[in-house]
Amino acid sequence: MTSQQPRTIVAFHAHPDDEALLTAGTMAALAAAGHRVVLVLATDGGLGLASATFTADSGGLGEVRLREARAAAEALGVARVEWLGYADSGSGPVLEPNPVGQVRFARARLEEAAERLAGILRTERADVLLSYDRNGGYGHRDHVRVHEVGRRAVEIARTPRLLEATIPRDTLVWAIRVLTKVYPFPPEFDARAFERSYSPRAEITHRVDVRAHLRAKRAAMRAHASQASGGTGDRTLAAFLKIPRPLFTLVFGREWFHDPFAPADAPVQGDILDGLP
């Protein structure tokens, strides 16, 4: 990242492990260049699927996953990790009742959640917020809420730049087809769902080359051990970690963002800090 002065970038994610998959390379590159990177998690990921080894923890799966997020953040060079205090909303067809003393993120009032995030943006004097595209990536209800809350928080805190993490759909569908020839994905993985997910290529405004930071990105993925197994065996995260290095570089060597306020004809940028005031 070419910015001469140190900047502060806040990466806002729905659950522990989302940061490892979507923005870890960018976060590692920014930290390595001397910028301050802050990770904010909306939920603790307590409704994630995991084996009994992890769910037996006295603090519950949510506490396990928050610890994993802190380990992943350390691998990426992140300076601060914050949890907004919301509970995981889950991905099932029914939104579960709120846990005692908590609110599921999908039920959070927009203004209240945005004020919590804006408070961090103000305290950190953030230059950039990384959030999610309008589809919430693959459509998880908490991811959609991250998009909504991120947009409003930037307005409240007057953060100079909002970049919404995404993936060009055609690239994603191609990558999945290649990967299925190398490694069989677990039963819960629905490749067809990705044909309706993320963003069209025309909406990509930033494409970041993170190949020099894939060691840190892999380490962040490995830190989320609870999400590599559960149910009937290995899960998608485990499948990604088993990809041979050359193919891993090809698939994960770039990260993409959408600037909702960029001119429609703006060229695709490689530096998310370029042009900041």
pTM for this predicted structure:
0.91
- The structural domains of the chain, with segments of one domain joined by +, span 8-257
* pLDDT given at position 232: 54
Indicate if the pLDDT at residue 190 is higher than 90: no
Compute the C-alpha angle 178/181/182, nearest 5°: 95
pLDDT tens, residue by residue, 33-52: 999 999 999 999 998 877 66
DSSP, res 2: -
- The CA-based angle 155-160-161, given to 5 degrees, is 90
CATH topology of domain 8-257: Rossmann fold (3.40.50)
Cβ atoms of 118 and 135 closer than 8 Å: no
The region of weakest confidence among 5-9, 122-126, 238-242 is: 238-242
- Least confident piece of the model among 11-15, 168-172, 258-262: 168-172
Q: Which residues contact 132 (CB under 8 A, 6 or more apart)?
A: 14, 22, 143, 144, 146, 147, 150, 164, 165, 166
Sign of CA dihedral 97, 98, 99, 100: negative
Rounded mean pLDDT of 187-204? 80
Of how many residues is the chain composed?
Answer: 277
DSSP string of 32-68?
HTT-EEEEEEEE--TTS---HHHHTSTTHHHHHHHHH
